[in-house]
Amino acid sequence: MPTNEEREKMWRSKFTVQPIIYTAANDCKRDVRTFLFDVSYILETYVNHYKMKAASDDQTIYNVLMWVIDNFKYVGDEVTRKQVEYWQNPEESLNAMTGDCEDGAILIKSLSLVAGVPDWKVRVTAGDVVGGGHAYCVYIRDDDTQCILDWCYWSNRLAIKDRQPIQNESNYKDIWFAFDKKYGYAPKPVTYTAGGHLC
């Protein structure tokens, strides 16, 4: 059985590393990786208080996802920020307890990092879905299949092992880009301007 280091190397080699720049908050160009926190006393407090960290990565990411589904409320940027697109960092999201699709996905990813899930196992992903653009997380299970972690569009309470492999998820279409704390991934370098791309 391959080690986690070997699995990380294998999985990272499957994606093309590219810079992903997004004008995602107040017309400021940002490297999307900077929205992810792996160190935060605030996030640590939530992880510890709500007992998100478990004995396995599968159970930890499940605890994180269920907490976000149960506690984080979907509200669009045009309501909260009076602009088409505004990406919150995870501390902002916990302060507001509201946000849209990418805010919840960034929060899931960041809480998972603070709870000890290896960076390479969870990616924030943006792309086309049925009905438009969307952001969600993709998780690499211990059997080396991928499943979707979506807190707002097609959320469900299925255990990680019982979720459909990503290729069987018909609501999710072309991926524009993805990122974790270490890398951005896309077929070519990406620079997006806010407006209309994500929910």
Mean pLDDT for 136-155 is 97
Q: Is residue 9 part of a domain?
A: no
For residue range 112-131, list pLDDT tens digits in order: 999 999 999 999 999 999 99
Tokens read off for 37: 């926190």
Strands 184-185 and 172-179: antiparallel
Tokens read off for 11: 């999985």
Full residue range of the structural domain in which residue 70 is found: 20-193
Give residue 84's pLDDT band: very low, low, confident or very high (50, 70, 90). confident
pLDDT at 149: 98
- The number of folded domains in the chain is 1
Greater pLDDT, 152 or 77: 152
Give every CB contact of residue 174 below 8 A, 6+ residues apart in sequence: 127, 128
Q: Helices H, strands E: what count in the chain?
A: 6, 10
The owner of tokens 């899931």 is 108
Mean pLDDT for 32-39 is 97
Q: Does residue 91 have a pLDDT over 80?
A: yes
CB-based contact 108:122 (threshold 8 Å): yes
Q: Is residue 12 part of a domain?
A: no
**C-alpha distance from residue 197 to each of 25, 31, 96, 132, 154 (Å):** 14, 16, 23, 8, 19
Q: Which DSSP letter does residue 167 get?
A: G
Q: Does residue 172 have a pLDDT over 50?
A: yes
Element (H or E) spanning 70, and its range?
helix 57-71
Q: Does residue 199 have a pLDDT over 70?
A: no
Give every CB contact of residue 97 below 8 A, 6+ residues apart in sequence: 71, 72, 73
Neighbours of 62 (CB within 10 A): 21
Give residue 194's pLDDT band: very low, low, confident or very high (50, 70, 90). low
CA–CA gap between residue 46 and residue 72 (Å, rounded): 13
Q: Is residue 183 part of a domain?
A: yes
Instruction: Read off the CATH number of the domain in which 122 is found.
Output: 3.10.620.30
Q: Is residue 68 part of a domain?
A: yes
Q: Is residue 1 part of a domain?
A: no
